[in-house]
A and B are shown apart, each in its own frame.
Chain A
Amino acid sequence: MKSSRTLGLVMIAPAAVMIVLFFLMPVVLTAVFSMTNMTTATGISGGVYQIAPNSLITLKSAMPEIAAEMAEPRYTIDEAGLKAVEGLGLAPAIAAELRAKHAGEVFATRRDVERMIKDLTERPSTREVKQISEQFNRSVLNTRFDSKEQLFSSLDGLGFKLTPEQKETVAKTTYTGWTWTTDNFSRMASSPDMARVLFNTVLYVALVLMLFNVGYALLLAIWTHYMPPTRASIFRGIWLLPRITPVVIYVMLWKWLAWDSGFISILMGRFGYPPKNYLLDTAYNAWFFVVLINGFIGASMGMLVFSSAMKAIPKSQFYASEVDGASRWQQIRYIILPQMRWPILFVTCYQTLSLLASFNEILLATNGGPGNATEVWALSAYHTALRNYAGNLEYGLGAAMALVLVVIGVVLSLLYLRVFNYGTLVAKPLIED
């Protein structure tokens, strides 16, 4: 028996690797990112230390004199620099002329020193000018240091007398990368827009789920249940179309229907109504279409599950009820619905989770508009982390928002498993090893 267990583990190994890589890792990474202030400006892979005019503004309030001194760019033609130029392997006359004519001179900007270098008799190429000027750079301004140690040794080398605390302050204000923080969560908690987005999400999931994914799906299943088999199949086939149509084309069809120049406007124009963008006209309109678009896609799954479940109800129950004179409504009320408890629970559970995470249809139809009226949580996380006009991608905040969805999903799953009474569903078989 042991060998069969080992074999089982071996067989499950590829799947386990996949699960870890593609299911578990994204969640773990989301959790890690959510505890950072990562954005486009901080980068993902980590930062460097750069004393830039921008960071000196912050430093100025803490240590004004040192900040002012650091702000001074200096290019000094000193012996060390001249030696370094000699080592570059350029024409020897360059270093010689620099030593003879310019030793000891100090230049305020790189452009100044480069202008001087270009005036040398042996005019170096642009690339060489850049190489030479770098040898005389005696300033930390705008230089990027990979580590704190490099920054500190450079500051020491330039004669800055800083206490360890001051050094740490300099390092902190000049670090360009991301840092660990819980700010994302406090931002989410305090932002009125986040509350609005959360409300939108609850509204969206509840409306689509109740009206279409469960309600309308059940209605369709019952309708087709009482239809002749061929007609029922055709009907179900039609309802599958929104599901199997590529989502971009499907949403474009809706847009063509509802835009200013679309079908509804043309039709209403015949009755004297001016054309208008029915899709984005008001928040209510946008919601109406968002719910319809998603509902029509989502209804098919419930319809299929419910239809097959109804087929499993023994026919004898229907015959017997007809003999007893039961109406269709009574059959639905007393035979079908009581036996649909599990399928309904299953569809509710599954669709809640998928609706919580779905946003592509909304992105294509309204992009969260008008005025963020249809911005749901998943779409907002996407906009925050990956897509906005200003190009300011806030990976940390977006990850924190995604994490909230993961947590809600996990909690809901556990809740549903409890309601489902998962234990009885996967009860141990009587024949054990």
Chain B
Amino acid sequence: MTILPTLKSLTIAAAILASTSAFALAKDVTISVWAGGTGPNDTYRLDAIEIAAQQLQREAALKGEDLKITVEKKPYSAWEDFKQALTLAAEAKTAPNIVVSGHEDIAPWSQSGLIVPIEDYVDLDSWPLNGIYENLLKIASYNGTVYGIPQDAESRPMFFWKPYMKAIGYSDADLDALPQNVQDGKYTMKNLLEDAKKMQDRGLVQPGYGFYPRTSNGPDYWQFYTSFGGTMEEGGKLVFDKAAMTRTYQFFADAVKSGVTKKNHIGMPGDQWWKEVATGKAGIWDGGTWHYARLVNQEGLTDFFGNVIFTLIPAGEGGKANTLTHPLVYLLTAGHDKEETDIAAQLITIASEPRINALHAVKSAHLGISEAESEVDFYSADRWTREATERLLPHANAMPNNSDFGTYWNIMWKNLEASWTGAKTVDAAIGDAESELKSTLGDKIVIR
């Protein structure tokens, strides 16, 4: 045996060893992310994670790690399908790593163990997470633990078609003062119904188009309950304020009775509704800040500010002007390898950086999540995000994170729809809601 073959085999052995150590450093990770309620303007909910992955890969490379992250994205346009798919997938242990959903899901999903607290993985004291608005972070928490990172903020204003408001007697100065008058409680729900009626009586809009609210169930309807003095939760317990809920149901029943809202409004095709509000077929309607993006990008309402004025939801009897913020949150699901979840958490952190989040805010007309974001020129130069943030966000409340809120919501909605369409009288609907809440939630809800 000469020295050469020995050297050769030693070299080969070294090469093999070296290659295995290289393999040991190389890491291939697939992070899947699903987002609900995601239309063509909301793609950065998913894309931001992809951008974050590129950043994390670069950071890993500098530390000498060969990290390769593949991001699998799945948008769901509707909420019902998304929540059904996600809960069933999670029960079957095939949930994605990251979920973008409404904050109200945190309570039931954390209780059933579908999600894990994000504060177990991230440092909330470092940038960019330490810059997120404190109230948004609170909305993303449950039981004193931060479960999610707010992905966006929004609010749900009332919109008025300016030309019709002028036609029924509002001057430019009146219209400029309208947001403040609504905020001060000088312009109320009663005025809103009167104006809607005037628009119809003058033939500006067709019957049923004076007040043209959301066509399906949604968080918007809780704003009306707040408008009429209702409280959703107090001291950790849900609250069903019978008087406030009666006034809320009655408001929609009255709108139908006076002919400013259609009896068959709920369940109408969404596309038709969008087209109608974008073309001035409707007089007054409610919606989300994100409606701006759709009206301008998809529905062709190019001169938005020339045609539309937006305010808080006016006060009703016994309540105050308000709006509701319904942040979507990035959540980490349970059942994954700890290291994978750790990477997912880092991606969420990077995706929350002001510049990246501003892409989503501006494209989708949602509101920013941090003070720093409003200082990004790209964000602050956008008239809509700037005005909406200033006018609405300081007055925003949120739905409670309570694992029984979904049950309350279902019962509230079912009976609102029934009184709206005349299937039940308002009193009967309130009575049915009360008895069902009592039998279902027992002492978990305060009825007063």
Contacts and interface: CB of A to CB of B under 8 A. Distances in A.
Contacts of A391: 79, 83, 87, 101-102, 104-105, 108, 406
A107 to B, nearest CB: 14
B113 A367 contact: no
Given A39-B108, A40-B87, A191-B439, A370 B264 contact: yes
Give the dominant DSSP class at A's interface.
Answer: loop
B113 A176 contact: yes
Contacts of A413: none
Contacts of B422: 371
Contact of A41 (B107, B269, B420, B421): B107
A390 B410 contact: yes
Interface residues of B, number: 70
Contacts of B80: 387-389
Interface residues of A, number: 62
Given A176-B113, A190-B435, A53 B236 contact: yes
Contacts of B407: 39, 390, 392, 394
B413 interface: yes
B267 A48 contact: no
A281 B119 CA distance: 50
Interface stretch (A123-131, A287-295, A324-332, A348-356): A123-131
A367 B413 CA distance: 14
Contacts of B237: 57
A366 interface: yes
A42 interface: yes
Contacts of B119: 110
B440 A187 contact: yes
B113 A144 contact: yes
Interface stretch (A207-215, A219-227, A272-280): A272-280
B432 interface: yes
A102 interface: no
B403 interface: yes
A45 interface: yes
B176 interface: no
Contacts of B436: 187, 191, 193
A54 B236 contact: yes
A150 B313 CA distance: 50
A43 interface: yes
A43 B267 contact: no
A400 to B, nearest CB: 13
Interface stretch (B17-25, B121-129, B224-232): B121-129
A50 B142 CA distance: 13
A187 to B, nearest CB: 6
Contacts of A277: 262, 264, 268
A118 interface: yes
B409 A390 contact: yes
Nearest to A280: B264
Interface string B319-339: 000000000000000000000
A196 to B, nearest CB: 8
Most chain B CB within a 10 A radius of its CB, from A47, A193, A283:
A193
A352 B31 CA distance: 48
A11 B27 CA distance: 51
B216 A389 contact: yes
Instruction: List the 7 shortest-distance A-B pairs measured between CB atoms, nearest first.
Output: A392-B406, A371-B421, A43-B112, A391-B83, A41-B108, A371-B423, A390-B406
6 contacts: A54-B107, A191-B436, A260-B268, A390-B217, A391-B79, A393-B84
Interface of B: 79-81, 83-84, 87, 91, 101-102, 104-105, 107-109, 111-114, 119-126, 142-145, 206-207, 216-218, 235-237, 262-264, 266-269, 272, 342, 402-407, 409-410, 413-414, 417-424, 432, 435-436, 439-440
Given A190-B439, A259-B269, 4 more contacts: A52-B143, A54-B143, A193-B436, A387-B84
